Amino acid sequence: MNETAITAYKDPKLPPPVDLPEGPEWVGVLKVFDAHVAETLVAAAHTLYPHQTLPERVYRRTVVAFDALAARMPAVAQGFAEFVDLVDGAMPVPFRELSESYRVNTLKGIEATPAFRLVQRSTVRFLYDDLEVWQAFGYEGAAVQLGGYVDRGFNDLDWLPEPPPGI
């Protein structure tokens, strides 16, 4: 991969990322979801956005964010529960135990449902808002606390001709 050294920052005013235990006990932080719901949603997030270079914990943090939403909004909690029922009902094997092609087909089969939409949109919302994902894909995040980019590379692209001054 084309690595340039960058460091990603969250705005210092925002809460720091959640620190999850590495083992299956990570589900202990959840307020609404049980372990099966949580692991099924992790599997779904992974199937929707299968980044080979990202560790499992970023998908778990995404589901922790779903859980926080569900805790605030009962209708959303209901939507996640419906999603798990839908994907688990599609095959004789629970969704989280399916092979990848079956998971993909299962998700394709429910694309038109509100429950799918909720999970897909929520995954985009939270997965790509994760500091570790920013770091991996080259997005530096908050900059004002470092004086912006005026002296830190806002115009450092050097593989195209330099535009004339004042253009």
Kindly tell me which of 23 and 150 has the beta carbon lying closer to another protein: 150
* Site membership for another protein, residue 72 (CB under 8 A): no
Task: Please tell me the count of residues contacting another protein according to CB under 8 A.
Answer: 52
CA distance 113 to 115: 5
* Residue that has been written with the tokens 């299968």 in this structure: 50
Go through 78-100 and write b for each residue having 16 or more CB atoms within 10 A of its CB, e for each that does not.
ebbebbbebbbebeeebbbebee
* Site membership for another protein, residue 156 (CB under 8 A): yes
* Residue that has been written with the tokens 């799918």 in this structure: 116
Binding another protein by CB under 8 A: which of 21, 55, 89, 148?
A: 148
Go through 45-61 and write b for each residue having 16 or more CB atoms within 10 A of its CB, e for each that does not.
bbbbbeeeebeebbbbb
For another protein, which stretch binds (CB under 8 A), given 29-37, 46-54, 55-63, 73-81?
Answer: 46-54
For another protein, which stretch binds (CB under 8 A), given 55-63, 69-77, 87-95, 127-135?
Answer: 127-135
Q: How far is the CB of 153 from another protein (least distance, A)?
A: 6
Q: How far is the CB of 81 from another protein (least distance, A)?
A: 21
Phi, psi of 141 (to 5 degrees): 75, -140
Q: How far is the CB of 36 from another protein (least distance, A)?
A: 22
The SS3 of residue 141 is strand
* Site membership for another protein, residue 102 (CB under 8 A): no
End-to-end CA distance of the chain: 34
156 close to 81: Cβ distance less than 8 angstroms: no
Binding site for another protein (CB under 8 A): 2, 4, 6, 10-11, 13-14, 48-51, 53, 104, 107, 117, 120-121, 123-125, 127-129, 133-134, 136-145, 147-150, 152-157, 159-163, 166-167
